[in-house]
Amino acid sequence: MGDRGGMDSYVIEISTRDERIVDVTHHVVDFCGGRGDGLCQIFVPHATAGVAIMETGASSEPDLLDALERLLPRDDRYRHAHGSPGHGADHLLPAIVCPSVTVPVLDGKPALGTWQSVVFVDTNVDNPHRRLRLSFLAG
């Protein structure tokens, strides 16, 4: 973390080796703790991954992966053709699952709904070593 003219920013490492959707809510909660009111931006600095707010733990994660597979099949139809088969689909993912979300923070706590979690979404099997940037702008 560092002072960036009123904005603190921190990068965490994420592994997507074992799961394509990783719940990162605890990282967001920890990062926002004690900061007061403001905004927390969660940003994925990768061309083949995104971040979303969704319910977790009720089979929503495999449902999302199934939906993404229907929208972005992993086959040879893509012009962007390096990497594993269907890797071109990975490069289209951020157009569907945004590379950033912003969450209001009230009294140091992300103002997420009861069933909302922040998740890292990565369909790219070629690179399981990922980063996630958390930034806080005080209100």
Q: What does each of the 139 residues of the chain score in pLDDT, given as a tens digit?
A: 444 457 899 999 999 999 999 999 999 999 999 999 999 999 999 999 999 999 999 999 999 999 999 999 998 888 887 878 888 999 999 999 999 999 999 999 999 999 999 999 999 989 999 999 999 999 8
> What is the pLDDT, as a whole number, of residue 82?
81
Question: 40-69 burial, b if ≥16 CB within 10 A, otherwise e?
Answer: bbbbbebebbbbbbbebeeeebeebeeebe
- pLDDT-above-70 percentage for the chain: 96
Helix (H, G, I), strand (E, B) or coil at 69: helix
3-state secondary structure of 79: coil
Instruction: Set out the domains of the chain in order of their start, with CATH numbers.
Output: 7-138 (2.60.120.460)
The sign of the torsion formed by the CA atoms of 43, 109, 13, 116 equals negative
pLDDT recorded at residue 3:
46
Per-residue pLDDT at 76: 87
**DSSP character at residue 95:** H
